[in-house]
């Protein structure tokens, strides 16, 4: 079965007969165009070891046709145009090709590349220096390991070797430049290998944008043999091409000139030689490197290349501020860079670069917005106190301490402390007063704001009351309002602006404390804390007044419920 009988194929490839071979097997009309003299690259391989025929011969007779054409000659181009017209009914044109330019630089220049989107970081400083013509691209590292680890340096050089760097005049490949790594910086957590690839390539482009670039064009080394009568014409032509040549030499009946000239001027000169020598002249040429382009302005204008619009080879850098990356144009990168090699101010590459100090301070609301945008709403643990960053800040930047508030559930404490619980069985009012006295002494020592809350929600017609007692705030709730609800509401109101701690063993109040992000202390734990504070008060009083020794404040207001 031949499903491709109606398909016609013109194969202009060199060295891969298998694709068109498969098409021919399925019935396609395949015509292979081969190079004169040598033929297809597969044909040039010859026979495999131990085989009588080559790869090409093994596949040649399977439906394929072959034709030899020299597409560099007008006759071969005309035959190709007719073949395409006949087989595909298409009109084609074979042009003369384009000049492959190169670009170089005239003087050393430093290039800086920085790549820092959120959670990425890399900065690279490269020194670009010109090389003699034909030097190609050389890579080197002159960066101390104390500035950038050796593994990162090797990675940067690998990335630079992998990429074909393009110039900024016409986008032509860069040549005759030594690229030296002189400084770099990585982040201990956020730097990845791809970050240095981005930073290094941006550093090359930024340096080229700052440098004085040169456009190079290819040159031919030629040998021209003409009759002696046409020697003057030949010399005039070579000079008009801005070429160079040596003294004429005798070549039998002809006179030979050897020299160099731009490819753009010589590519059609063979036909001109044949014309003005009436077929007697001979012209030979071969590639012979690159030189500065004589008509660079015309070539640059024809290329119409915009280096800043080439996003695959951008000279701009990316910096990070306020939790988001932002682009910086190539001509302002040095204002934002984190390392300063000082080469523009006369420092040598051997001196270590200076790290620029930058302020990255943001306020709490902005930080909260950043975290919310990047990680979603903050979900605090339900059954643990809020965790704070314990990093020690410098004295001039340390935030002022928040005012401390202590919220005490009065009845919960009274019935949790054995000493007060005994008093409350006989006289609840006395137990309340005893607790208020103890907390007044506690507050005088700790200097905190203390709110003592008593539950009065069962008192008929109670409207609640507030009073100050020896420096503490005593609150009685109104009818229908529990002490738990009052503490919960108060914690919600002041918990964001003050350091709030609730003293209770009630499960509901504890849960409210967790939700509000405040600290919670159990009633029995608080009893031990109060006992320690009263002991410190006794010691202080004893030191201040010897007459009070033996008379402890714990004896005046003690935990046994007996007022002295």
Q: Specify the CATH number for the domain of residue 42.
A: 3.40.50
Are residues 210 and 229 located together in one domain of the fold?
Answer: no
Residue 225 lies in a domain: yes
Are residues 199 and 269 located together in one domain of the fold?
Answer: no
Residue 549 lies in a domain: no
- Cβ atoms of 317 and 115 within 8 Å: the answer is yes
Residue 225 sits in a domain whose CATH number is 3.30.70.240
pLDDT of 400 reads 54
Mean pLDDT confidence for 540-563: 57
Are residues 536 and 435 located together in one domain of the fold?
Answer: yes
Q: Is 167 a residue whose pLDDT tops 50?
A: yes
Domain total for the chain?
4
Are residues 208 and 229 located together in one domain of the fold?
Answer: no
pLDDT of 18 reads 65
Residue 507 lies in a domain: yes
More confident residue, 459 or 10: 10
Are residues 448 and 539 located together in one domain of the fold?
Answer: yes
DSSP codes of every residue in 244-312: EE---EEETTEEEEEEEEEHHHHTTHHHHHHHHTTT--EEEEEEEEEEE-TTHHHHHHHHT--GGG-GG
Domain range for 162 is 102-214+316-354
Are residues 33 and 82 located together in one domain of the fold?
Answer: yes
Are residues 224 and 205 located together in one domain of the fold?
Answer: no
Residue 42 lies in a domain: yes
Question: What Cα–Cα distance (Å) separates residue 560 from each residue in 415, 421, 423, 424, 535?
Answer: 13, 10, 9, 12, 15
At which of 59, 88, 117 does a domain end? 88
CA distance 123 to 260: 44
> What angle do helix axes 269-276 and 231-240 make, rounded to 10 degrees?
160
Residue 398 lies in a domain: no
Mean pLDDT confidence for 272-288: 91
Are residues 341 and 457 located together in one domain of the fold?
Answer: no
294: tokens are: 């004589």
Question: Half-sphere exposure of 189 toward its Cβ, with a 13 Å CA cutoff?
Answer: 2
pLDDT of 127 reads 94
Residue 561 lies in a domain: no
Are residues 433 and 520 located together in one domain of the fold?
Answer: yes
More confident residue, 547 or 460: 460
Mean pLDDT confidence for 22-43: 73
Contacts of 518 (CB under 8 A, 6+ apart): 385, 386, 491, 495, 500, 501, 502
Are residues 140 and 108 located together in one domain of the fold?
Answer: yes
Residue 363 lies in a domain: no
Taking the model in full, what pTM does it have?
0.54
More confident residue, 181 or 348: 181
Closest CA to 432 of 448, 450, 455: 455
Are residues 69 and 109 located together in one domain of the fold?
Answer: no
Residue 120 lies in a domain: yes
Average pLDDT, the chain: 81
Q: What is the pLDDT of residues 230-257, one digit of tens each?
A: 999 999 999 999 999 999 998 888 999 9
134: left (phi over 0), alpha (psi -120 to 50) or beta: left
Are residues 130 and 224 located together in one domain of the fold?
Answer: no
């Amino acid at each position: 079965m031949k499903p491709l009988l109606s398909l016609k194929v013109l194969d202009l490839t060199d060295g891969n007969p298998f694709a068109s071979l498969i098409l021919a097997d399925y019935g396609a009309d395949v015509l292979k165009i081969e190079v004169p003299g040598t033929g297809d690259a597969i044909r040039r391989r010859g026979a495999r070891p131990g085989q009588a025929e080559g790869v090409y011969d093994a596949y040649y007779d399977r439906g394929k046709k072959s034709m030899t054409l020299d597409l560099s000659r007008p006759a071969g181009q005309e035959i190709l145009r007719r073949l395409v017209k006949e087989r595909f009914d298409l009109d084609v044109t074979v042009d003369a090709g384009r000049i492959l330019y190169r670009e170089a630089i005239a003087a050393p220049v430093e290039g800086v590349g920085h790549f820092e989107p959120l959670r990425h970081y890399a900065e690279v400083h490269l020194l670009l220096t010109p090389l003699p013509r034909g030097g190609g691209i050389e890579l080197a590292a002159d960066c101390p390991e104390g500035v950038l680890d050796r593994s990162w340096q090797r990675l940067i050089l690998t990335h630079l070797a992998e990429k074909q760097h393009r110039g900024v005049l016409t986008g032509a490949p860069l040549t005759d430049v030594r690229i030296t790594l002189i400084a770099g910086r990585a982040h201990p957590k956020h730097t990845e290998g791809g970050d240095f690839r981005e930073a290094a390539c941006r550093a090359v482009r930024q340096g080229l944008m700052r440098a004085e670039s040169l456009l190079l064009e290819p040159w031919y080394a030629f040998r021209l043999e003409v009759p002696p009568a046409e020697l003057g014409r030949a010399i005039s032509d070579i000079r008009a091409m801005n070429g160079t040549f040596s003294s004429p030499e005798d070549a039998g009946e002809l006179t030979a000139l050897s020299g160099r000239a731009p490819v753009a001027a010589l590519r059609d000169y063979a036909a001109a030689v044949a014309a003005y020598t009436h077929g007697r002249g001979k012209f030979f040429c071969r590639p012979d490197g690159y030189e500065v382009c004589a008509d660079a302005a015309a070539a640059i204008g024809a290329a119409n290349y915009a280096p800043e619009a080439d996003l695959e080879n951008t000279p701009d850098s990316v910096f990070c501020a306020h939790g988001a990356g932002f682009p910086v144009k190539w001509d302002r990168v040095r204002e934002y860079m984190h390392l300063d090699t000082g080469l523009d101010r006369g420092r040598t590459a051997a001196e270590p670069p200076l790290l620029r100090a930058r302020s990255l301070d943001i306020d709490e609301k902005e930080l909260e917005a950043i975290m919310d945008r990047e990680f979603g709403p903050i979900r605090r643990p339900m059954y643990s106190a809020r965790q704070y960053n314990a990093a020690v800040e410098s004295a001039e930047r340390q935030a002022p301490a928040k005012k401390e508030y202590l919220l005490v559930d009065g009845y919960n404490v009274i019935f949790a402390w054995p000493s007060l619980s005994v008093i409350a069985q006989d006289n609840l009012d006395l137990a309340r007063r005893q607790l208020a006295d103890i907390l007044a002494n506690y507050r005088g020592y700790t200097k905190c704001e203390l709110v003592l809350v008593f539950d009065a929600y069962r008192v008929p017609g109670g409207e609640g009351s507030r009073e100050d007692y020896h420096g503490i705030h005593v609150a009685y709730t109104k009818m229908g309002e529990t002490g738990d609800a009052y503490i919960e509401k108060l914690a919600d109101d002041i918990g964001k602006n003050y350091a709030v701690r609730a003293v209770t063993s009630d499960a509901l109040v504890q849960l409210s404390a967790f939700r509000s992000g405040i600290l919670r202390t159990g009633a029995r734990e608080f009893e031990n804390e109060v006992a320690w504070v009263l002991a410190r008060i006794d010691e202080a009083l004893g030191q201040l007044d010897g007459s009070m020794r033996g008379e402890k404040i714990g004896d005046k207001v003690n935990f046994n419920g007996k007022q002295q």
